Amino acid sequence: MSEASDELLMMTVQRGQLDALNGLVSRYQQRVYNYFLKSTLDGDDSADLTQTTFIRVLKYRNSYKQGSSFETWLFQIARNQVKDHFKKIKVYKDRFTTADILPDQEDDKDELQLEREQTLMRAMSQLPEDKRELLVLSKFQGMKYEQIAELKDMSVSAIKVQVHRTIKQLKDIYFELENHLN
């Protein structure tokens, strides 16, 4: 038996069979958590935001439109959560500390690899929130440019250009940070 599609599960949730949400949570919980982690750079906040996102999925289940992408709808809720989060704390650049090690890192990575990843996270923390979001969605979450364009209400070509420019900016910041460390 094949698994039910995201859209079918969401339609089942809309009809009041709330247990169907468990299937969507199990499919997307880690991706949503990682999106928040790379956006906020804080594990505790990310866990809270992930939980709140799925609560909002339940609360706003009737706003989901049949035939549309559940993933895009879910990440729109997550994006709104990030915006609300940063409005509450106002300052996010000071939240990164060098002691933070991301939970999805493996323990057996060598020290040089861990340093590079920490430098990358520091570089990402220096990007403006909207640019960092583009990278998180496209490179870390693997969303297609079409989905990101729909989320941000922009053209696909504009998203491609912005992602390309943001990667170049990130590279510049990364190598500047790396030079300061050496």
Nearest to 71 by CA among 10, 17, 159, 162: 10
| pLDDT tens digits, 48-93 | 999 999 999 999 999 999 888 999 999 999 999 988 888 777 644 4
* DSSP state letters, 9-45: HHHHHHTT-GGGHHHHHHHHHHHHHHHHHHHH--HHH
Confidence (pLDDT) at 101:
43
Query: In the prediction, which pLDDT does 22 show?
Result: 94
Helix (H) or strand (E) holding 114, with range, is: helix 111-125
Asked whether residue 142 carries a pLDDT value surpassing 70, the answer given is yes
Structure tokens at 120: 């990358």
Report the pLDDT value the prediction gives residue 39, as an integer from 0 to 100: 86
Statement: residue 181 has pLDDT above 80: no
Asked if residue 99 has pLDDT above 70, the reply is no
Would you say 105 and 114 are in contact if contact means Cβ atoms under 8 Å apart? yes
**Tokens found for residue 100:** 């933070």
Domains of the chain by start residue, with CATH: 6-181 (1.10.1740.10)
For the segment 100-114, the average pLDDT, to the nearest whole number, is: 59
pLDDT for the residue 100 = 45
Q: Is residue 106's pLDDT more than 80? A: no
**One-character DSSP codes across 77-112:** HHHHHHHHHHHHH---GGG--TT---TTS-TTS-HH
